Copies of this chain bind each other. A is one copy, B any other.
Amino acid sequence: MADPTVDGERFRRRFDEFSDIGATENGGVNRPSLSDENKAARDTVVEWFREAGLAVTVDEMGNIFGRRAGANPDADPVLFGSHVDSQYNGGRYDGVVGVLGALEAVEALNDADVTTDRPLEVVAWSNEEGVRFQPDMLGSGVFCDQFDLEYAYEREDKDGKRFGEELERIGYKGDAPCEPRDLHCYFEMHVEQGPFLEQEGLPVAAVEGVFGFSWMNVTFEGQANHAGPTPMDMRHDAFVATADVTRSVRRLTATEGTDLVGTVGSVDVWPNAINVIPETVEFTVDFRSYDDAVVDAAVEQIQREIAHAAEREGLEYEFEEIMRVDADPFDQSCIDTVVDAAETVGCEYTRLVSGAGHDANYLNKIAPTSMIFVPSVDGISHRESEFTEWEDIVTGTEVLLEAVRSKAAE
């Protein structure tokens, strides 16, 4: 029996063909969740899963599973995969390398005629990105009992179309129950979406866990007045206070001596006219760290800064923490399995903590989990220019294959 070997050229042909689905002019893809392009991507996944001999199941959330029988058919399966929905005009690699890489690992086992002890399951999760329907990671979230199915079905896009109706429209409302079941473990290969691997010149990382984060909405309410005749001392300018808080967010990340990152990402100004003092500004703050106490401290500190900014400018304000997720350390045995797999493959590797959330976070709640990162050139993701060297994706897939084989033999 030959050792199973990843076929980088076959994988590449499939990846390129897949990249044509919803391709954008600038080399990205536009396949938001449950769009026609997302349906086409799903159809291709199902077709290729079947061609690889996998038994395909679609669950009530449209999560697509492909099962490969094991020598011990009743053992809990090893699950591995990622997602194929994209950001609006997003990159080709995000999610896709994890699904097509999992498929390639199965093909390598098929080529070598290897039957693992445990069954294997490859998965493509629904609505990971959360750009059309919020929240993100909705498919894995329902699967891991974090959201009710009905809640998920009623999520609306900005045109008022519901997730459940759109799922039915594209023909992916399956019959299989979307609920936790016994899994031996879960692996996910994904692009890093950060710069560390490229900076270090390494092809893969074993992911030890994911940053916790807080999402906050802030509203400042001042007074809209004419920018000419209103003296500076009578102004109640909601945007000046927003600028104050934005600089406080940046300063906190620099002065706390921690791994804290902070971002003001969304800002809406009203009435938003060149000659009118801003009356209302709604904006968001995002704080992340691998240490929950660091996030807690930052959330407390920024509330004080918001109160100070409002008082200085004579504003009313509202503050709401709309989401709080604790740091999520992955399973030590799964991390070790990835590290061992990298050593077996003979590639250089490091251990990383992820700043971004993934489906793996929810899976980690119901089964031992870890991830494999491959580099993002210039740390860029969620953009059409997202890029990973193909040889690194092949190396990552070799590590994935080894990790899966190792766990499937337990």
CB of B228 within 8 A of CB of A382, answer no
CB of A228 within 8 A of CB of B355, answer yes
Tell yes or no: A284 within 8 A of B by CB: yes
Task: Give CA–CA (A261, B275) in the complex, Å.
Answer: 11
Tell me the minimal C-beta distance from A188 to chain B in angstroms: 15
Closest chain B residue to A267 by CB distance?
B269
Please tell me the size bucket of the interface on A. 35 or more
Which residues from chain B contact A228 at a C-beta distance below 8 Å?
193-194, 211, 213, 261, 286, 288, 354-357
Task: Give CA–CA (A276, B250) in the complex, Å.
Answer: 15
Tell yes or no: A266 within 8 A of B by CB: yes
CB of B226 within 8 A of CB of A356, answer yes
CB of A225 within 8 A of CB of B381, answer yes
Task: Give CA–CA (A357, B231) in the complex, Å.
Answer: 15
Which residues from chain B contact A119 at a C-beta distance below 8 Å?
none
- With A246-B243, A286-B274 as contacts: A194 and B265 at CB distance below 8 Å: no
Set B265, B273, B383: member contacting A274, Cβ < 8 A: B265
CB of B265 within 8 A of CB of A273, answer yes
Closest chain B residue to A376 by CB distance?
B229
Tell me the minimal C-beta distance from A157 to chain B in angstroms: 15
CB of B354 within 8 A of CB of A226, answer no
Set B223, B226, B242, B272: member contacting A243, Cβ < 8 A: B242
Q: Which of A354-389 contact B (CB under 8 A)?
A: 354-357, 379-383
Task: Give CA–CA (A131, B354) in the complex, Å.
Answer: 47
Tell yes or no: A234 within 8 A of B by CB: yes
